[in-house]
Amino acid sequence: MPNLSAENLRVADVMARDVEFIEPHASAQAAAVLMGEIEVGALPVGSADRIVGIVTDRDLLYRVVARGRDPAAVSVQEVASRPVLACSPGDTLRAAMDVMVANYVRRLPVLDGSRRVVGWLTLADIARHLLVNDDALQVSLLTLTEGAGAG
């Protein structure tokens, strides 16, 4: 099996290509509804051609709900996280993970050479990809699973 480590895999191998955006002037409530509908914890703010921020479930919780603000009256652009940190399709997963760790973020938009959003990379996607393709981990999990039935 080929080496599928974070050093060998590229962002393009793991990223989601279908990215849902929310407009900057949309309400925090609309963002929360959309996140719930598509089961995500964050949305890029803007469009594929111009991303101006990222709004996360935590942004909504701490910057709207915890402050007693009306989610229907607060715009996404008021609470979105900035600056937008990003990676490129050709970056290694290790490089993208380093950006995430250094900046305490769990998601990155993937931008092409024209700064257009072409994907979305999450720590969950990275973990799922690396764990599913790790032969040693699979053997360990199988051993644990088989051993669990004995006791």
Residue 37 lies in a domain: yes
Distance of CA 69 to the CA centre of its chain: 26
Is 29 domain-assigned?
A: yes
Q: Which amino acid is at 49?
A: D
Q: How many domains does the chain have?
A: 1
Q: What is the pLDDT of residues 13-67, one digit of tens each?
A: 999 999 999 999 999 999 999 999 999 999 999 999 999 999 999 999 999 999 9
2 found inside a domain: no
- Note whether residue 5 is domain-resident: no
pLDDT at residue 131, as a whole number: 76
Does position 103 have pLDDT exceeding 70, yes or no?
yes
Q: Please check whether residue 137 lies inside any domain of the structure.
A: yes
Mean pLDDT computed over every residue of the chain: 88
CA distance 9 to 88: 13
> Is 33 a member of any domain?
yes
Q: What is the pLDDT of residue 144?
A: 55
Task: For residue 64, tell me if it sits in a domain.
Answer: yes
Which range of residues forms the domain containing residue 133? Answer: 11-148
Confidence (pLDDT) at 125: 85
CATH number at residue 109: 3.10.580.10
Which H or E run includes 121?
Answer: strand 117-122
Tell me the pLDDT band of 11, cut-offs 50, 70 and 90: very high
**Domain presence at residue 6:** no
Q: Are 27 and 74 in contact (CB under 8 A)?
A: yes
Angle between helices 93-103 and 123-132 in degrees, nearest 10? 140
pLDDT recorded at residue 150: 43
